[in-house]
């Protein structure tokens, strides 16, 4: 792909894009802390997150461990209720967590988990797993129809010939094959949205790309909206159209993947990008030493949650939480440096 040059088109805000499939508005999740000493306290795992998944687009959600990525995905999958905020499917708020409308929601929004070893029940064959996924969502399939669909699903995830895999147990498959089965199970429901929580990080390096390329192909073929959770920012660049960066439960930056990774705006994104191993820029990282520990989410830092680690922190950062501000190239960053009238400090620009 060509490198962006100069002021790029404002891709993020142009309304002529593909339709929005799934949307989170001010989504918040606080987990109550158990035990005597935890009384009244909460882990503020996700704080007012906005997120938009469009048809035929991959959005990557990146951030350090514990930043709330999986929690966002689980909230979107309705695996647990939000503390506050809204989830909208094709613009319709999802309110109930039972009944026919809820089942329809679950069919349309499918999730793939990180661990292909744990996510498949060891006592069930591939046939059983896929049949169940087909039947739950399409009742009254005839035997022949079912067989055709089963073969079709395996075909779709490149497990062919289907007969070789259909009667296998999970332990008879490799990690990559298992993850393909998990993807096939999700596809069996004919979803429109796929939430993939670190779908390749447990897989061997040499087969990761195969699974990512498969997801990419399925996205194009089926026009899926995909949320791709990862902490590998290079793979976000490779696979995702847009990238959303989380820090300590909040979204700190979002924009198209190329500008977020090549010209990160938020100081945390800059830290993340410069920390990633990169054989072509050996000396770079040493110039920007990485420091500090992730913050507590029970008592998160006041103001900007990143301020204790931020090399550019100003007085205001310690007290006021920064809103999302435009940061060039169609990106938004939650950082006071991008407020009007603030002079950009030296060293903020990290053009690739």
Ligand X SMILES: Nc1ncnc2c1ncn2[C@@H]1O[C@H](COP(=O)(O)OP(=O)(O)OP(=O)(O)O)[C@@H](O)[C@H]1O
Among 170, 176, 322, 330, binds another protein (CB under 8 A): 176
316 near another protein (CB under 8 A): no
* Residue 235 site contact among ligand X, Mg ion, another protein, none (CB < 5 to 8 Å, cut-off depends on kind): another protein
By the rule CB under 8 A, 300 interacts with another protein: no
Segment interacting with another protein (CB under 8 A) among 191-199, 274-282, 325-333, 336-344: 274-282
- Within positions 62 to 121, which residues make up the interface with Mg ion, using CB under 5 A? 70
297 binds, among another protein, Mg ion, ligand X, none (CB under 5 to 8 A by kind): ligand X
Task: Name the residues that contact ligand X, by CB under 6 A.
Answer: 31, 43, 45, 63, 65-71, 231, 297
Comparing CB distances to ligand X, the nearer of 61 and 310 is 61
Pairing of strands 242-247, 332-333: unpaired
Q: Is 5 in the site for another protein (CB under 8 A)?
A: no
Q: Contact with another protein (CB under 8 A): which of 36, 123, 283, 346?
A: 283
- Contact flag: residue 209 with another protein (CB under 8 A): yes
Nearer to another protein, 67 or 131 (CB): 67
Name which of residues 324 to 343 contact Mg ion (CB under 5 A): none
Between residue 58 and residue 87, which ones bind another protein under the rule CB under 8 A?
64-65
Q: Is there binding between residue 231 and another protein (CB under 8 A)?
A: yes
* Contact residues for Mg ion, defined by CB under 5 A: 70
């Amino acid at each position: 792909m060509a490198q962006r040059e100069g002021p790029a088109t404002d891709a993020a805000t142009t309304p002529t894009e593909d339709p929005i499939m799934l949307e989170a508005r001010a989504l918040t999740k606080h987990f109550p802390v158990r035990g005597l000493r935890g009384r009244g306290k909460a882990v503020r795992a996700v704080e007012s997150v906005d997120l938009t998944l469009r048809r035929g687009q991959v959005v990557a959600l990146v951030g350090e461990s514990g930043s709330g990525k999986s929690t966002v995905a689980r909230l979107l999958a309705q695996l647990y209720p939000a503390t506050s905020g809204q989830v909208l499917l094709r613009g319709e708020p999802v309110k109930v967590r039972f009944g026919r409308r809820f089942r329809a929601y679950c069919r349309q929004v499918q999730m793939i988990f990180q661990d292909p070893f744990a996510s498949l029940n060891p006592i069930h064959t591939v046939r059983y797993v896929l049949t169940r996924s087909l039947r739950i969502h399409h009742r009254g399939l005839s035997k022949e129809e079912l067989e055709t669909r089963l073969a079709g699903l395996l075909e779709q995830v490149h497990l062919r010939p289907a007969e070789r895999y259909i009667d296998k147990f999970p332990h008879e498959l490799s990690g990559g094959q298992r993850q393909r089965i998990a993807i096939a199970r999700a596809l069996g429901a004919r979803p429109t949205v796929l939430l993939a929580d670190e779908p390749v990080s447990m897989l061997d390096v040499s087969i990761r790309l195969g699974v990512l390329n498969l997801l990419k192909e399925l996205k194009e073929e089926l026009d899926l909206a995909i949320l791709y959770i990862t902490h590998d920012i290079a793979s976000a660049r490779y696979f995702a159209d847009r990238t959303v960066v989380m820090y300590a439960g909040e979204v700190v930056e979002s924009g198209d993947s190329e500008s977020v990774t090549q010209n990160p705006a938020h100081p945390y994104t800059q830290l993340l990008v410069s920390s990633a191993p990169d054989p072509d820029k050996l000396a770079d990282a040493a110039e920007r030493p990485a420091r500090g520990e992730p913050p507590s989410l029970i008592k998160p830092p006041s103001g900007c949650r990143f301020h204790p680690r931020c090399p550019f922190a100003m007085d205001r950062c310690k007290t006021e939480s920064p809103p999302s501000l435009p940061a060039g190239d169609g990106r938004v960053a939650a950082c006071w440096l991008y407020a009007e009238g603030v002079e950009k400090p030296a060293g903020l620009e990290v053009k690739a």
